[in-house]
């Protein structure tokens, strides 16, 4: 099931929150373990490295997926933009005086709005 970019970002934020909580717990455990036994601190460090590697791998996978979705959206926007330009060009070629009148009207409206701002 495809997720929207917003849902994917929310997933990434949840993953980062989970990572932060795990690292905090592991740091506390490492502090206790290092006081009790130096070997335990090394095991905790390995666990932290493993957790970070797992989160980084998930993040990479989701980033790749999100990148693909953004690329698809930009391609679609480009197609729509090109189609709109082609249609506008055809209309201007078919009815140049109407297009000129519309352009002048828009220019007058914009000039009037800008004059009101000052």
Q: Is the distance from CB of 34 to CB of 41 less than 8 angstroms?
A: yes
Is 118 in a helix, a strand, or coil? coil
Q: Is the pLDDT of residue 53 over 70?
A: yes
pLDDT tens digits for range 64-91: 777 777 788 888 888 888 888 888 888 8
Handedness of CA 72, 74, 77, 82 (dihedral sign): negative
pLDDT tens digits for range 84-114: 888 888 888 888 888 888 888 888 999 988 8
At 92 the pLDDT is: 81
Q: Contacts from 35-44 at CB under 8 Å and sequence distance 24+?
A: none
At 59 the pLDDT is: 77
Give the position of tokens 């999100």. Answer: 66
Encoding tokens for residue 113?
């709005």
Q: Is the pLDDT of residue 118 over 70?
A: no
Q: Is the distance from CB of 44 to CB of 26 less than 8 angstroms?
A: yes
Cα–Cα distance between 58 and 10 in angstroms, integer?
Answer: 14
Specify the length of the chain in residues.
118
Is 41 in a helix, a strand, or coil? helix
Encoding tokens for residue 52?
């970070």
Whole-number average pLDDT of the chain? 78
pLDDT tens digits for range 16-41: 788 778 777 877 776 666 565 556 55
């Amino acid at each position: 099931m495809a997720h929207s970019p917003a849902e994917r970002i929310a997933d990434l934020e949840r993953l980062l929150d989970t990572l932060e909580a795990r690292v905090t717990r592991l740091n506390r455990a490492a502090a206790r373990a290092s006081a009790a036994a130096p070997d335990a601190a090394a095991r905790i460090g390995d666990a932290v490295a493993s957790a970070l590697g797992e989160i980084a791998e998930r993040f990479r996978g989701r980033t790749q997926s999100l990148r693909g979705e953004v690329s698809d959206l930009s391609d679609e926007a480009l197609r729509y933009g090109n189609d709109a330009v082609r249609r506008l060009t055809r209309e201007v070629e078919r009815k140049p005086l109407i297009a000129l009148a519309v352009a002048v009207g828009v220019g007058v409206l914009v000039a009037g709005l800008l004059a009101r701002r000052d």
